[in-house]
Amino acid sequence: MPALVGFLWLISYWLIGEVVVHFTGLPVSSGVVGMLLLSITLALHGRVPGSIAAAAQPLIALLAMLIMPGVVGVFFILDELAGQWPAILCALVVGTLLSVTTTLWLLKRLMESQHAR
């Protein structure tokens, strides 16, 4: 039963997010607003209630399954984007190589300058 209580909390935060997004017109998804509100609530509360953990942990563990119906879709647009794939793959692979290197180098420099103080 605690998991059900936690699940109701998660749904409520998502619904609050939906209302906030509707009235503010923020270009953010309801899930992200709900996530931020949940972490703020937890920070104010100072700990994670058992009911939230009981609902959140299994849901997070199932995330990969929840996105599967979407992932399968990529195999059905292979033809639609024929001719675009070399550019897409190049952008992803080279872009990732560049951004990984930038992140490593930048954080190393920043941490060194922190220690130097």
Which of the residues 57 through 96 are near another protein (CB under 8 A)? 57, 59-60, 62-77, 81, 84, 86-96
CA–CA separation, 25 vs 41, rounded Å? 23
The site that binds another protein (CB under 8 A) totals a number of residues, namely 72
**Taking the complex as a whole, how short is the minimal distance between the CB of residue 117 and another protein, in angstroms?**
9
The answer to whether residue 23 forms part of the interface with another protein (CB under 8 A) is no
Q: Within 13 Å, how many C-alpha atoms sit on residue 109's CB side?
A: 6
Nearer to another protein by Cβ, of 1 and 27: the residue is: 27
- What lies within 8 Å, CB to CB, of 15 at 6+ separation is 30, 34
- For 36-57, give one letter per residue: b (16+ CB within 10 A) or e: ebbeeeeeeeeeeeebbebbbe
Nearer to another protein by Cβ, of 1 and 112: the residue is: 112
**Taking the complex as a whole, how short is the minimal distance between the CB of residue 52 and another protein, in angstroms?**
6
The answer to whether residue 20 forms part of the interface with another protein (CB under 8 A) is no
**Taking the complex as a whole, how short is the minimal distance between the CB of residue 32 and another protein, in angstroms?**
4
Footprint of another protein on 29-58 (CB under 8 A): 29-32, 34-39, 42-43, 48, 52-53, 55-57
Instruction: Find the Cα–Cα–Cα–Cα dihedral 49, 50, 51, 57, rounded to 10°.
Output: 110
The answer to whether residue 114 forms part of the interface with another protein (CB under 8 A) is yes
